[in-house]
Amino acid sequence: MAKECSNSSCSKESCEGCPSRQPQSFKEEMNQFSNIKHVIGIVSGKGGVGKSFVTASLANQMAKQGYKVGILDADITGPSIPRMYGLKGPAQAEERGIYPMVSQNGIEVMSVNLLLPREDEPVIWRGPILANMVKQFWTDVIWGELDYLFVDMPPGTGDVPLTVFQSLPVDGIVIVSSPQDLVKMIVRKAYKMAQMMKIPVLGVLENYSYVVCPDCGKEMRIFGESHIDEIAEGLGLKVLGKMPINPAYAEAADQGAFHTVDNPYVEDAVRTMPR
């Protein structure tokens, strides 16, 4: 229940200090045994553009620089981060909370796949339950001391992204796109949602930009020419990189060895991270 205003002349419509006029905060309290300095969301307006790949690449680069890093896998129905790092549950839990699992390069990871009896068990939940699970990854997980927590978002602008933006203290987001014709709509959707939620956009990373021929070294743009520069300019955003298709990265992810990946194409994105 809202508190009564102490201003005797309050008319609610004119009293700026009236509690009934203050916007309600949906921010959740961090687990008391966690101390996270920066929360960065990795988002896209559609699926299949490589958000998990970008999330893990950024996490690897920041860990390489000596920062303490975690990944919150918010893609509850399509989690892939644990598999990329070769992590299998169950995650350890006690009265104080749940402990994330740690990759071979020191990145803390929490995902629904680390709580399920088997990693191939489907998660058939409705939106509110999915959103509540994301909140629990913030309130119930003992992250400890982290410089950066990267949140791997599900595609679109539904319940889970909304919950992350409202419930977590997100410092900024990176939008992931691809060179296909849909890119303008993809970027605009993510950008407009961030604007509505008053979340800073750090910039745009384009994935699948080209593939390098192993024989002649020629760059082949199999998904078409990129339009990300003009799209980003129209929105006042930075282009943080254009990443080629690299079979070696895909193989590392399939083998659970993504901790070995050093992706130089996200270096500009790393430099935009809040310090």
Do residues 272 and 238 touch, judged by C-beta distance below 8 A? yes
pLDDT digit string (tens) for 130-180?
A: 889 999 999 999 999 999 999 999 988 788 999 999 999 999 999 999 987
pLDDT of 68 higher than 60: yes
State yes or no: 50 annotated in a binding site. Answer: yes
State the pLDDT at residue 183.
78
Helices (H) and strands (E) counted in the chain, each on its own, are: 8, 12
State yes or no: 46 annotated in a binding site. Answer: yes
State yes or no: 47 annotated in a binding site. Answer: yes
Q: What is the mean pLDDT of residues 71-90?
A: 94
Q: Could you give phi then psi for residue 32, rounded to 5 degrees? A: -65, -15
State yes or no: 9 annotated in a binding site. Answer: no
- CA 199 – CA 38 distance, rounded (Å): 13
Reference 51, options 206, 235, 150, 176; nearest CA is 176
State the pLDDT at residue 2.
44
Confidence of residue 78 (pLDDT cuts 50, 70, 90): confident
State yes or no: 45 annotated in a binding site. Answer: yes
State the pLDDT at residue 17.
55
Q: Measure CA 4 to chain center.
A: 39
Reference 58, options 41, 80, 35; nearest CA is 41
pLDDT of 96 higher than 50: yes
- CA 107 – CA 205 distance, rounded (Å): 22
